[in-house]
């Protein structure tokens, strides 16, 4: 945020407009971040959340074949159950919703494409059932208003991937083979840019096709870091200045076992690498453009703590925020109309149970509520927390679990207390802690066996 410290930055008219734009979103997002309250659901599996064209939030729970619409404050407007799971969705320019999912069919897992209105009513559905297992990996609306899907099918252990195009009424238009399946984006000139790993050279690869899926070029990059064992291309977008931005990470395990994230800029016309920016250890999973022409990247740090990184248009870090507990897997991120961010993630506990995890932040990555659908992670059958809230001390009573350590974090992700667990009764003194939400992580031999939260009053 150079405009906050460099007076010369303000002399440029374009920079001054960026400044006003930033201040506007910061004020609006602060208001909504304070209004957004915690909401809880007893659901398992992943969740996928985004904001609709009417500014409301839509959250899908594939495990339960359920979608929920909420206000920006978290109040439930309606729930809809479907005969198939909805795994992801996008907003369409006509105000409707395009969703993809799956259902168990006669021959195996069928892919499902559905068009819904903002009230959750189904306008049409299409079944994609070509082999014993079909997965719809990603979807986009094209500039022509058609719907493009990246699909992978499996038949007796053999997989193949392809792009499929449908018109707005759900009519099939064409199929094209796809060799790179880690993600794709469409550009301002209707090109299809794909990323993935070349299985022969173990290198990061990028390809470009025209709007009909006809391959134009493909490039392999095997020298992002010379000492890397392998690369993982995680996310791809077109920037505001029409460059291709790729986020991912590489692994170095010969001397040290570590993942390091990177962002690469690529020329969309010929695939030439323009620049590579390396970042401290961790992973980058999802990158999006922001309204101020910068970027936000969702990933994990080295401790597998969920981390949000804000970058300017030169890929310099403006701020980073972490969200507990550890072990959260990032899934999706989008910017909301108030300038903040809506994060979808999942948390797997020591019993291999997976819980949805949704976070709403303001424009600076701060949140007054971790809107997590993981109430069962602090399962009352395993841990009693009382009194909660409290202004003196908090007692945790462990039932049917063993823990040898407890870690306590504030809502900014900072470790504020660590103590050994000597019995099934744990007392946490709160006299030196400021008011607010706190999160605890119970561990046995460094493996999470429980987690939860409590609130300290003034």
| 405, 418 contact by CB (below 8 A) | yes
| 89, 101 contact by CB (below 8 A) | no
> Which segment, 184-188, 324-328, 417-421, is predicted with the most confidence on average?
184-188
Q: What ranges do the domains of the chain cover?
A: 379-456
Banded model confidence at residue 270, pLDDT cuts 50, 70, 90: very high
pLDDT at 450: 75
Residues 16-38 pLDDT 10s: 555 554 444 444 444 343 333 33
> Which segment, 224-228, 430-434, 443-447, is predicted with the most confidence on average?
430-434
Distance CA 344, CA 355 (A): 11
CATH code for the part of the protein at 379-456: 2.60.40.3080
Q: What is the three-class DSSP state of 27? A: helix
pLDDT at 6: 44
| 451, 441 contact by CB (below 8 A) | yes
Which residue in 141, 59, 72, 50 sits closest to 334, CA to CA? 50
Distance CA 46, CA 106 (A): 25
194-220 average pLDDT score: 87
122-138 average pLDDT score: 88
pLDDT at 244: 95
Residues in a beta bridge with 201:
none
Distance CA 321, CA 341 (A): 12
For the chain, what is the radius of gyration of the CA atoms? 23
């Amino acid at each position: 945020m150079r405009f906050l410290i460099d007076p010369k930055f303000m002399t440029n008219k374009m920079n001054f407009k960026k400044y006003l734009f930033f201040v506007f979103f910061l004020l609006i997002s602060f208001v909504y971040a304070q209004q957004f309250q915690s909401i809880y659901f007893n659901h398992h599996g992943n969740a996928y959340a985004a904001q609709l064209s009417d500014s409301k939030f839509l959250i899908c729970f594939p495990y339960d074949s359920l979608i929920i619409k909420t206000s920006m404050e978290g109040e439930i407007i309606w729930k809809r159950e479907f005969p198939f799971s909805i795994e992801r969705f996008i907003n369409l320019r006509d105000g409707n919703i395009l969703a993809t999912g799956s259902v168990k069919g006669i021959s195996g897992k069928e892919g499902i494409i559905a068009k819904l209105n903002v009230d959750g009513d189904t306008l049409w559905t299409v079944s994609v059932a070509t082999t014993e297992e079909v997965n719809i990996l990603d979807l986009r609306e094209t500039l022509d208003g058609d719907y493009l899907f990246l699909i992978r099918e499996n038949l007796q252990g053999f997989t193949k991937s392809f792009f499929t195009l449908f018109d707005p009424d759900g009519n099939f238009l064409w199929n094209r083979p796809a060799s790179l399946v880690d993600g794709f984006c469409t550009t301002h000139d209707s090109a299809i840019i794909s990323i993935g790993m070349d299985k022969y050279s173990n290198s990061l690869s990028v390809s470009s096709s025209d709007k009909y899926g006809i391959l134009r070029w493909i490039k392999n990059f095997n020298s992002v870091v010379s000492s890397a064992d392998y690369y993982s291309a995680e996310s791809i977008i077109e920037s505001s200045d029409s460059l291709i931005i790729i986020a991912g990470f590489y692994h170095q395990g010969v001397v040290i076992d570590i993942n390091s994230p990177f962002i690469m800029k690529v020329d969309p016309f010929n695939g030439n690498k323009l620049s590579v920016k390396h970042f401290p250890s961790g992973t980058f999973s999802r990158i999006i453009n922001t309204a101020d022409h910068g970027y936000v990247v969702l990933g994990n740090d080295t401790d597998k703590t969920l981390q949000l990184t804000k970058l300017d248009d030169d890929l310099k870090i403006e701020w980073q925020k972490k969200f507990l507990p550890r072990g959260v897997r990032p899934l999706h991120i989008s910017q909301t109309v108030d300038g903040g961010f809506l994060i979808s993630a999942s948390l797997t506990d020591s019993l291999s149970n997976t819980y949805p995890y949704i976070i709403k932040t303001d424009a600076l990555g701060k949140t007054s509520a971790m809107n997590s659908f993981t109430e069962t992670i602090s399962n009352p059958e395993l841990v009693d927390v009382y009194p909660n809230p409290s202004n003196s001390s908090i007692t945790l009573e462990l039932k049917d679990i063993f823990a040898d350590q407890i870690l306590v974090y504030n809502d900014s992700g900072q470790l504020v207390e660590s103590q050994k667990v000597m019995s099934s009764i744990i007392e946490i003194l709160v006299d030196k802690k400021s008011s607010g939400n706190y999160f605890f992580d119970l561990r046995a031999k460094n493996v999470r066996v429980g987690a939860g939260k409590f609130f300290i009053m003034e």
